[in-house]
Amino acid sequence: MITNQLAQYYAVNADNYDQVYADEARFDDLDDLQEMIAELLEGHTVLELACGTGYWTELIADVAASVHATDVVPEMLALARTRELDDEIVSFGELDALNLPDSVGQYTAVFAAGWWCHIRREDQEKYIKQLRAKFGKDVLLVLLDSSYVDGSSTVIARTDAEGNTYQILTADDGQRYEVMMNYPKDSALRKRLAPYAREIRVERLEHYYLLSCRLK
């Protein structure tokens, strides 16, 4: 399950979470990502994990056959619903992305932004196995996450015995939260996914990377 510390950080910070997308230094990356994600998910029946405020949900809704956007943080889902997206295409639901139910539904694609960084390195293999078991062969998996940028990203506060890295983030309530944020290299992503996925592609931008593959 998602940790209490992580859930509390996102709950407190929900109202201002999208400020990261207002950073001019990220505009070129975001323009490129919007085009790539739209192309990848066009016509798909999409399950979105950790949808947050619905920033990417809105883009996906323009191209997908349908999207079920989920998050474990009620405050995030409440903000996502305020986007008033077409309810014939978009539905919302509370879901712990680390603990998927057996009856998760039928989808042709799974999308998650800012999620892989929060999965412990030692749990990643088990997580990919879970996705394959839940969704089956040939389902498209698309992962969008942040790259570490010197001078821009929050400095790494510590690294644990398994190689997971942590940052100290200050939320809107003034409290400081230790949040696990892993920044894998392309080779590490490919190595982790190769036993369970094919057609692995990693697009590395300045502030983000986009991974797509087919579960096998």
Would you say residue 2 has pLDDT above 70?
no
What is the maximum alpha-carbon separation in the chain? 47
Instruction: Dump pLDDT digits (tens) for 108-161.
Output: 999 999 999 999 999 999 999 999 999 999 999 999 999 999 999 999 999 999
Dist. CA 33–CA 43, nearest whole Å: 17
* Model pLDDT, residue 58: 97
Quick one: tokens of 83? 């986007």
Contact 29, 206 (CB under 8 A): yes
* CA angle, residues 170, 174, 176, in degrees to nearest 5: 40
Provide the CB-side half-sphere exposure for 98 (13 A, CA): 15
The structural domains of the chain, ordered by start, are 4-149+185-215 (3.40.50.150)
Instruction: Dump pLDDT digits (tens) for 36-52.
Output: 999 999 999 999 999 99
Would you say residue 25 has pLDDT above 60?
yes
* Model pLDDT, residue 3: 59
Rounded to the nearest integer, the mean pLDDT of the chain is 94
Would you say residue 1 has pLDDT above 60?
no
Own/partner pairs, 165-172, CB within 8 angstroms, 24+ separation: 169/9, 171/9, 171/12, 171/13, 172/12, 172/13, 172/15, 172/16
Alpha carbon of 94 to those of 52, 76, 134, 137: distances in Å? 11, 10, 17, 25
**Average of per-residue pLDDT across 193-199:** 95
Question: Crossing angle, helix 124-135 and helix 186-193, to 10 degrees?
Answer: 50
